[in-house]
Amino acid sequence: MASTDRPRLAVRSPADLIAAVPFLLGFHPADSVVVVAMRGRRITFAARADLPDLADRCDLAGHLAGVVARQHAETATVLGYGPATLVTPAVDAVRAELTAAGLSVLDALRVTEGRYWSYVCTEPECCPPDGTPYDVGASEVSVAAVFAGQVALPDRAALVAQVAPVTGPARSAVRAATARAERRLAELRGQAPAADPRGERSVRSAGATAVRTAFRRHRREQPLTDDEVAWLSVLLTDEPVRDHAWARTDGRDADIALWTDVLRRAEPELTAAPAALLAFAAWRAGQGALAAVALERALAEHPGHSLALLLDDLLRRGVPPSDLDGWPAVGTPDVLRRRRRRRER
């Protein structure tokens, strides 16, 4: 699910909307139901769910509609990608739930193999029974999006690949660097002064320095060395260091690039914090799909990680980043923790 606070695209027809969807999501959907929400004449949010799940479970349609309604949207269009046998019941269920949530459904489309069909329009002159052809590649919307620097990957698998771990010699190099970093951390704790018997202040100071260096390097488009990645990933296992990095992470391209790089190169036992930080940066940037795949990786490898679980809950409920008023001036970790405590009462 993704906010759409990006360069504006002029959408004037169903074909234009179909062309815009991959750029709203970040990838071309398949076997999916997508809801595009609007406030006034502006697209404000796009949400996607897997078609087989929606076809089999009506409660997911209600969840999807609730997420969209939470964005303070006024109208929506539903698009189903796939065969009619699966798309039709899923789209019908989502339309009903959106209507029940108080949203006006402008149109509902089935999209497959270069054609679309409307479930709302019954006029054969504009919506022929054999579907209306469209060409995403020839659309002015696609051209404008590419010109604005927006990217639509071929499918969700390509998005998952962007956060996949490095392999081969790159993995071996980071593994060796991580062994050095763990010895360095042990020495740091062992050399801590008597006033800091467990080395906590020493670790936090080293962590603040490593985080500051990493941000500065990536904002100058300078990649981190293997030793820098390993040292940072080891230090991020300390919760205060992780929160220090979290409080300094926003939705800037450089922040997303930094945490993507660290996540891909970190050893598996050290991926939870960089994955969660990437998810937060992507969520802040309106890249909900990237945030989702980062959290999937975090929770697959570290199912109990507190920050990943908190962000996963925010993403699944469709909480918009704008709810964090004043960011980054406010202490965001504290804001989100208060939100979690209120939900648990």
Please state the rounded mean pLDDT for residues 328-334: 45
Strand 132-133 relative to strand 42-50, pairing: unpaired
Residue 157's Cβ-count burial label (10 Å; 0-12, 13-18, 19+) is exposed
Do 83 and 172 lie in a common domain?
no
Percentage of the chain exceeding pLDDT 70: 87
Do 233 and 117 lie in a common domain?
no
Domain that holds residue 296: 162-344
Query: In the numeric block, which tokens belong to residue 45?
Result: 């949010």
* pLDDT given for residue 8 in this prediction: 60
Do 131 and 170 lie in a common domain?
no
Lowest-pLDDT range of 42-46, 128-132, 246-250, 334-338: 334-338
Do 108 and 169 lie in a common domain?
no
Long-range Cβ pairs for the range 290-296 (8 Å, 24+) = 290/26, 290/159, 290/162, 290/163, 290/256, 291/315, 292/1, 293/156, 293/159, 293/160, 293/162, 293/163, 294/163, 294/259, 294/263, 296/160
- pLDDT band at 54, cuts 50/70/90? low
Do 117 and 18 lie in a common domain?
yes
- pLDDT band at 9, cuts 50/70/90? low
